[in-house]
Every structure is written in C-alpha cells, then in structure tokens.
Amino acid sequence: MIDTSSAETGTQLPLYKEVKRLLTMSLAEGEWQPGVALPSETRLGERFRVSIGTVRKAIDELVAERILVRHQGRGTYVASHNARRTLFHFFHIVPASGGKEPPQTELLSFERAKAGANDAARLNIAPGAPVFRIRNLLRLADRPVVLDEITLPVERFRGLSEKMFRERDSTIYQLYQERYSINVVRSAERLSATLADRPSAKLLQVAAGTPLLRINRTALTYHNVPVELRTSLVNTADHEYFSDLGKN
Amino acid sequence: MIDTSSAETGTQLPLYKEVKRLLTMSLAEGEWQPGVALPSETRLGERFRVSIGTVRKAIDELVAERILVRHQGRGTYVASHNARRTLFHFFHIVPASGGKEPPQTELLSFERAKAGANDAARLNIAPGAPVFRIRNLLRLADRPVVLDEITLPVERFRGLSEKMFRERDSTIYQLYQERYSINVVRSAERLSATLADRPSAKLLQVAAGTPLLRINRTALTYHNVPVELRTSLVNTADHEYFSDLGKN
DNA sequence: TAGTGGTCTAGACCACGTG
DNA sequence: ACGTGGTCTAGACCACTAC
C-alpha cells in the first residue's frame, strides 16, 4: 500500500489519484515511450500494491485526458502523435461544408530570436531567452488557408534545425515527440478577429484588409507544462474553426 | 437484470450503457427536474436490478457530460442552469487580460419569422416553419461587446413572449428550463472572422469595417437534439474567445 | 444517528487480439 | 490457448451532510 497521507498538509489523497500521479511521472520521464504498451493492469497493480480496480480508475482518467489509449485484448498504450490524432485533436479548421482533411505544410522561415515579455511569460522562460521562430503556410485542397507562427524555447529544443522541419515526413508534434521526447497532450486556444496585413494577405492570396481569424495556442505537455506557442491566421472565407466542448 | 440483447442487430450493449440510456430518457421526460436529487444509487440499483457499481458507472458518464452533478453526503442532482454554470460552460468570451465576468443583456428585438433552409436543417425542422428571432446586446464592464441573434423553433417554445425575455431575472437557458422544461446540456460552435456592417458597428460602437468574431452556435438538449441557434458577433478588441479542449 | 456519495478491494466472467 | 482489457458483482469502510 502506498502512503497517501501528507505530513505537511494533513490532506488525504485518494489512492487512485496517487497512482495516476505516479503513472504521469513515469510518462513524463519517458519510462514508457509513445506507441508502446504499458505493463498490464495486473502488473501495475502489483507494482503499486493496489487492486486492479484502483489502477483502472487511474488509467480511466488518463484515457479521458487522451494521454493513454486502451485496446481491448492488446494492452494500454501511450498516445502517439500520428497524423490522425493531430488532425482530430489539435487541428480545428474545417471546411464550411464538407469533412475535415489534413493540411499540406510549406515552411516559410526558420529563425532564432529572443523571447519577448509576453511569450516568455506564456512559455514560463526568462524574458530575452532564445527561441526558435518558425513560420508555415498551410494549404487545404491546394488553397492557402492558414498562416502559422510557431515559437519554441531553444532550451527544450536544442539542435533543432530548419532541415528537420523541412524534411520531416510526419506531423510537427510527432517531430517533437521523436526527436525531443516532448509529448504534447493538450492545448489551450484564444481566438480573436483581425485584418490581414500586406504580407499575410499576399501569402493567403486575399486582399489586404480581409478579416482573418487569429488563434493563439499554447501547447502543453504532462503536468500542464507549456512547450510551444503558435499564432495562426486563418482565412475563414471557406473554412471555420470548430469547437465542440462537452463532447470529445 | 435488464435485457441488453437486441434481436434485430444481435449487438450486445453493456449493462451500464443501458442504465445510462434509461436515466437519460427519464431526464428527457422530466421525471427528475433540474436542481432536485435523483434517487440514491442504492435505490437506482434496485430499480434497474443492477449492482450499485453499474449504476455508478452510468452516472459517472452523465457527470462527465455535465448532465448530473454529485454532492457527497447529499445526493446526485440534475444539473441546473444557474448564472454560474452558464457563464462557465456556455459563455466563452473573456477579457484579453483579467477574469471572466457575467454579461449584461439588453433586448433589442423580438420577432416571428420563417426558418430558412439553413436554419431549418440545423434545427431539424421543416423549411419555412415558424421561428422566434431574438436579438440581444451584451455588455461587459458597461461596454457593448457581443451582438446575439437567437433563433428558436416556435413549435418547442409555444407562447414565448417578448415580455418573458425582457423581464427575466435569470439566464436565457434558465428561462428555457423553467418555462419549457428544455434543458440545454451541450453546444457546438463554429467560428469565423467577418467585418462589421453599419447597423452592427453602431450597436457595438465601433467603426464599420472593424473585424469581428462570428460564432455560430447550436445548443443541444438530451440525445443531442438541437433546440436553439445563436449567431454572435464579438468585438475582440479587448476580449477573446477561450477554447480549452481536453480539460473541462 | 442515519443516509448519501467516494474509495478500495477481490473475484468471476466476457470479448478481443495474438500466436 | 493465453493474456489483455471490459463488464459486473458484492461488500467493507470512509467522508460528508442533514437532522
């Protein structure tokens, strides 16, 4: 049995919450890599000295948070960033009529810069700390629709190169995962409306002054640690941002 | 024991899913009103002839969907539309800096109209069927920020009057709930960017041509039945739409 | 004190995937 | 045939609320 009492606070954590915490810590430390199976529930129960029901309750919550995936008969897996998952959970732009489709990405620029006060605060790094700034143009049905600007702390992404971005044959979050063992598990987004400036307008092939949707995203890994900022400008003439809170 | 086998399909539904379906049906039929406690888990187990664990699993899912609320030591309640819940789960506009606050609503107009093809399809009613169309101006910190246009099928809201809208001292969803026993449990929203036309600009006190965020919401009740359409125009100069999928 | 939901356990059986 | 997760049960004890 695990000790769930805290001498400092006197608080009593439920056992399954403690198990969940331990599982999340092991995940954050990379004990189990994305795409591979965890030990069986029976074994995890033995490891943590709890019943299988308690393990299941902990896993239930991690599955609800899309950190783990269960497959009956096979095992429980660390959620992996394949194209399908990224499209489904992290790409919210849909055609005004018709189904969702994966975007084609074109790398526009890759630079080093210093974090401004705002970005630094959101990334929880020091103001002026070095960051990578990557700009991408996303096409849907061969038409430019989204202009992305990604900000990454150099500290977490040492050695990241333009080549890696240009030559990747996977999604960006897959790149983070494979090269840096950084697993994006959640994102928070703030949306506003703005007008296209000249350079953006040209890239999106619209008139300057066209209304655009601006999305400010913070991507988070385990324990809600921010790892990436992304600002997207979206031409919503033929596409929309889909938000379905409550389901999914 | 409930029969969960289906002669037609041969499909085997888990018992707790069947219990969940029966609970949802009772909720939709108004057997338990919002704000009141359901029978205890023990009694529900007796009623459906299942163990308490199975009842709990069914309730777990309804709680996750925010249809029920558990209170330890008191009971399980039908989620009620108070100001707090509406603000938290159905109002996604937040100040660019600062915390969320409830909006002040001013009724602009209340009319009867016929549903266009689009609205009819979204509301699952016949094209040309009568609808109410209500327009509201929402203020935050005494500044106009949101312009709402609500479309309601007359069929579901017979006898709805301008007076009821003007003199309500509760939220709109509370009105639906109390007067028509219609409980909005979920919403799906599609966002795009647009430009303020003259009348909207005047009401929102911005220049014509200012970029605005447009939100197309479909509000759903039990079994995902659509009951309300709402188009919001938001001045995002000092406010943003907050979307946190994955949590909440 | 009684009743409620919250946690934890232990075990049986089923459905699914792999060999 | 075997191991995995999925379902269902039964019971014990705890924490909280109301009276």
Closest nt to residue A59, judged CA to C1': D5
> For position B13, what pLDDT does the model report?
83
> Mean pLDDT, chain B, as a whole number?
92
* Residues of B whose CB is below 8 A from A216: 240
A118 lies within 8 A of chain B by CB: no
Residue B6: is its pLDDT beyond 90?
A: no
Q: Which of B185, B187, B192 sits opposite A213 (nearest CB)?
A: B192
B150-204 pLDDT tens trace? 999 999 999 999 999 999 889 999 999 999 999 999 999 999 999 999 999 999 9
Find the residue closest to C8 using CA and C1' atoms.
A54
Distance A12 CA to D11 C1' (A): 23
CB–CB of A191 and B244 under 8 A?
no
B42-59 pLDDT tens trace? 999 999 999 999 999 999
Q: Which of B212, B244, B245 sits opposite A193 (nearest CB)?
A: B212
CA distance linking residue A232 with residue A189, whole number of Å: 10
Angstroms from B159 CA to nearest CA on chain A: 30
Cβ within 7 Å of strand C: which of A 194-213?
none
CA distance linking residue B111 with residue B119, whole number of Å: 16
Q: What's the one-letter identity of residue A176? A: Y
Dihedrals phi, psi of B154, to nearest 5 degrees: -60, -35
Distance B96 CA to D15 C1' (A): 40
Distance A7 CA to D9 C1' (A): 37
A52 lies within 8 A of chain B by CB: no
B64 Cβ nearer than 7 Å to chain C strand: no
> For position B99, what pLDDT does the model report?
87
CA distance linking residue B193 with residue A236, whole number of Å: 6
Query: Please, what's the b/e burial string for B231-243 (b: 16 or more CB within 10 A of its CB; e: otherwise)?
Result: bbbbbbeebbbeb
CB A32 within 8 A of CB A38: yes
Residue among B153, B69, B75, B145 nearest B106 (CA): B145
Residue among B126, B127, B130, B125 nearest B114 (CA): B130
B11 Cβ nearer than 7 Å to chain D strand: no
Residue among B15, B17, B7 nearest B50 (CA): B15
CA distance linking residue A46 with residue B245, whole number of Å: 34
CB proximity list for A225: less than 8 A, separation 6 or greater: A124
Find the residue in A nearest to B92 (Cα): A190
Could you say which nucleotides of strand C lie within 7 A of any protein CB atom?
3-11, 15-18
Number of Cα atoms under 13 Å in the Cβ half of residue B86: 18
CA Rg value for chain B: 21
CA distance linking residue B144 with residue B204, whole number of Å: 5
**Stronger pLDDT, A161 or B98, i.e. the higher one:** A161
Distance B212 CA to D10 C1' (A): 59
Could you say which nucleotides of strand D lie within 7 A of any protein CB atom?
3-11, 15-18
CB B188 within 8 A of CB B217: yes
Residue among B79, B55, B53, B51 nearest B65 (CA): B79
> For position A99, what pLDDT does the model report?
87
CA distance linking residue B211 with residue B235, whole number of Å: 7
Q: Which of B89, B188, B242 sits opposite A244 (nearest CB)?
A: B188
Find the residue closest to C17 using CA and C1' atoms.
A73
SS3 B167: helix
> For position B10, what pLDDT does the model report?
39
- Low-confidence residues of chain A: pLDDT under 50: 1-10, 248
> For position B7, what pLDDT does the model report?
41
B72 Cβ nearer than 7 Å to chain C strand: yes
- What is the DSSP secondary structure assignment for residue B166, as one 8-state letter? H
> For position A247, what pLDDT does the model report?
56
B19-47 pLDDT tens trace? 999 999 999 999 999 988 999 999 999 99
Q: Which of A191, A209, A244 sits opposite B240 (nearest CB)?
A: A191
Distance B53 CA to D12 C1' (A): 14
User: Which of residues 72 through 91 in chain B touch A, CB cutoff 8 A?
Assistant: 89
Q: What's the token pair of residue B78?
A: 């039908």
CB–CB of A213 and B190 under 8 A?
no
Angstroms from A167 CA to nearest CA on chain B: 30
